Chains A and B, each alone.
Chain A
Amino acid sequence: MHQDRLSEEKGRGSLQPARAASAFALIPRRYRPSALTAFMTPGIVVMSIGFLAPLAIAWWTSLSGPQGWSVDAYAGIAGSTLFWRVMRGTFEIALLSSVAALLLGYPLALHMSRCAPRTRHMLMILVLIPFWTSILVKSYAFIVLFGRAGLLNQALEASLFPFGPLDLIFNRTGVGIAMTHQVIPFVVFPLLTSMLQIDRNIYRAADVMGASPFTTFWRVTLPLTLPGAAAAFLISFTFGLGAYVTPALLGGRKDLMIANLIDFRLRETLDWPAASAIAITLTAVVCVLIALARRMSRSRAMA
């Protein structure tokens, strides 16, 4: 923690233009706006207009009843079994897909980090292509691949697989497959970045000290990429929480997402306080989770 702050200060100091010496020096060092702050300003402005302001409006809407302020909307969702069931399902689906994407994406990123730059760029494009493809098109592709009459089941039948045809879509499995596919790019890129940042000399050192490839992975690569993995997990998990179309197309009747519930309140029943209350609750839960995850990773870093 302390070390963090020190290096931050040093970083700020080095970015200060020298000409700013005189009056500027009167401001205590910690409170001086740095060049970094300056570069962040446009981003902060965009986020304030595009994210914080709508969030504030949603919060305000969630608290407005027919006669002034009211917490009825929150009381309503707290007492709704539908809300809690959907909330639980949404978290399960987001967790399932982000863990699966992490397990699949990690070896992929590791391989990409060891490729020659040209091959790596090709692989990066391959990872990105599905990301650019319309979800409707992808959902049809999944039906052709994993449906009861799909290619996989036909192949299983041809190879005399005794338990076919497998039900792989229109249930939790289908959502899992499609959502994992959806979030893999969000996992691969943060992981790849953290892997490419590792100093190659560390591997040479491990090699010289007689570490087996497995030991090198276990004691060098994995610990050094854990922050990247944590970031990848958080990004894909939050993305999964907001998913909507994919579960509707490939899920079963139990795979209703919280975004779907918000849409129902927002556009079909026009109950905006309820829709806002659900959105605010979801946002609050996500913020708490991110804060917890950061605290955990920080305490681990200190230990």
Chain B
Amino acid sequence: MTKPSCPVAPVTRRTFMSAAAAALAAPALVIPGRARAADGPVVFVTWGGVVAKAVKELLAEPFTRETGIPVVIADGPDLAKVKAQIQTGNIEWDILDLPGAMAMSGSKSGFWEPIDTDIVRTGNLLLSAPTPDLVPIYTYAAGVGWNTGRHADGAHPTDIVEYFDVQRFPGTRTLRARISETLEMALVASGVPVDSLYPLDVERGFKALDEFKPHVRKWVSETAQMTGLLQSEEVDFSYVFTNRIRAAQEGGVPLAMSMKQCTIGSLYYGVVKGSPRREAAMKFIDFAMRPQQNAALCSMMTSIPNAKDATALMDAEAQKWAPDLGNKQHILISDAYWAEHYEELNARFKEWLLT
């Protein structure tokens, strides 16, 4: 089709020019990544919005002031992109902000540098890392939420067992459209003690979910919907995260949640394998895990600090939203378990949803 010939000569020239331009531009697109030296900025990849703002103001800027190492905040951690960067040797990202399942899945694939314990003082952590290539930064809680305009005190479930008890508390519910957290909740509701959950009794869990299935109005994949559906009164009770309920209350929306029994998930930082700024990245993580910094980040994120002595440094309002990790009723999600079983069980779960 692009065969050159006399009547189309101007276009041929244009085609040639654009091809030449592309050829000239190509190295420019590739080289900056390759050429970014060890003294370039550390690229920290996080989730945009409030999180990016918190990381920038509370971690990145003070870190740069102290060490002189510049930090660039980028959006949207994505394992597929990490895989592509490692495969092409063109490492653009240094540190990633990783929820449990993602952190462990990347760890299994060998995407992270081992944490340099000479730089990162891992002895200061409350919960230790499940693998030597991740640092748990904070934990976050989710539990039973309701609309106070619709359900008076005592007329709503307050723990996971009650959440699954549709006889005592009739009404519609939500659950997440993924197997992790969901299977743990189903097992606790079916009577498995919290301290002997793992390894999960998968068959028992799916059986409990079978019975609960008709009462779940929405299997949520967009976190914002968990509180949105309570607000619009589309469901009676919802599984919700503390930070969303806090934001709703501060916005004057009559939502509440129970801290009696929560699922506790972990958030990790990992350094991309082969990062030319590995050392600076480790320094950044160590800085982030100082009690002062960790407390400030958790205050803004409504999460639970993982640095020793940080909880007391949080502001009073944020402390109210941090469930007591000493409470043995909370379900601590095991990322090590999901690293081994997520793929198989989530595929089974998706199939189960369709039947």
Binding site for B on A (CB under 8 A): 16-17, 19-20, 23-24, 27, 32-33, 35, 37-42, 44-45, 81-82, 85-86, 89, 136, 140, 143-144, 147-150, 169-170, 248-249, 252-254, 256, 261, 264, 266-272
Contact = CB atoms under 8 A, between A and B. Distances in A.
Contacts, number: 115
A144 B232 contact: yes
B134 to A, nearest CB: 17
B219 A253 contact: yes
A143 B79 contact: no
Given A143-B232, A143-B234, A148-B234, A268 B354 contact: no
Nearest to B8: A38
Contacts of B234: 143, 147-149, 169-170
A140 B11 CA distance: 49
B117 interface: no
Given A248-B222, A270-B109, A86 B354 contact: yes
B5 to A, nearest CB: 5
B354 A33 contact: no
Given A89-B354, A150-B232, A256-B350, 13 more contacts: A20-B7, A33-B1, A41-B2, A42-B15, A82-B350, A143-B232, A170-B217, A252-B219, A267-B78, A267-B80, A268-B343, A269-B346, A270-B105
Contacts of A147: 232-234
Contacts of B80: 266-267, 270, 272
Nearest to B4: A33
B8 to A, nearest CB: 4
A268 B350 contact: no
Contacts of A35: 7-8
Contacts of B72: none
A33 B5 CA distance: 7
A82 B221 CA distance: 18
A269 B105 contact: yes
B347 A82 contact: yes
B11 A38 contact: yes
Contact of B225 (A16, A38, A249): A249
Contact of A248 (B3, B6, B79, B221): B221
Contacts of A149: 232-234
Contacts of A249: 222, 225
A268 B338 CA distance: 12
B38 interface: no
B193 interface: no
Nearest to A248: B221
B1 A270 contact: no
Contacts of B216: 253
Interface of chain B, main secondary structure = helix
B128 interface: no
Interface string B70-86: 00000000111001000
A16 B83 contact: no
A296 to B, nearest CB: 27
A148 B234 CA distance: 6
A170 B18 contact: no
Nearest to B84: A272
A30 to B, nearest CB: 13
Interface in B1-49: 1-3, 5-8, 10-11, 14-15, 18
A268 B347 CA distance: 11
A38 B347 CA distance: 49
B325 interface: no
B345 to A, nearest CB: 11
B353 interface: yes
A40 B6 CA distance: 16
A33 B105 contact: no
B313 to A, nearest CB: 35
A24 B224 CA distance: 64
A291 B180 CA distance: 43
Given A41-B1, A144-B232, A147-B232, A268 B105 contact: yes
A256 to B, nearest CB: 6
A241 B59 CA distance: 43
A250 B18 CA distance: 44
A16 B7 contact: yes
Nearest to A40: B1
Contacts of A44: 1-2
Given A17-B7, A82-B347, A270-B79, A170 B218 contact: yes
B101 interface: yes
12 contacts: A17-B7, A24-B5, A35-B8, A41-B14, A42-B18, A147-B234, A248-B177, A252-B218, A269-B342, A269-B346, A270-B79, A272-B80
B228 interface: yes
Nearest to B174: A170
B214 to A, nearest CB: 11
Interface in B197-254: 213, 216-219, 221-222, 224-225, 228-229, 232-234
A37 B353 CA distance: 50
Contacts of B228: 140, 143
B153 interface: no
B317 interface: no
B351 interface: yes
Given A44-B1, A144-B232, A256 B7 contact: no
Contacts of B83: 270, 272
Contact of B6 (A20, A41, A267): A20
A256 B5 contact: no
A81 B353 CA distance: 13
- The 4 A-B residue pairs with the shortest CB-CB distance, nearest first, are A38-B11, A38-B8, A253-B353, A20-B7
A282 to B, nearest CB: 17
Most buried by A among B7, B18, B219, B234: B7
Contacts of B350: 82, 256, 261, 264
A120 B316 CA distance: 59
Nearest to B234: A147
B306 to A, nearest CB: 24
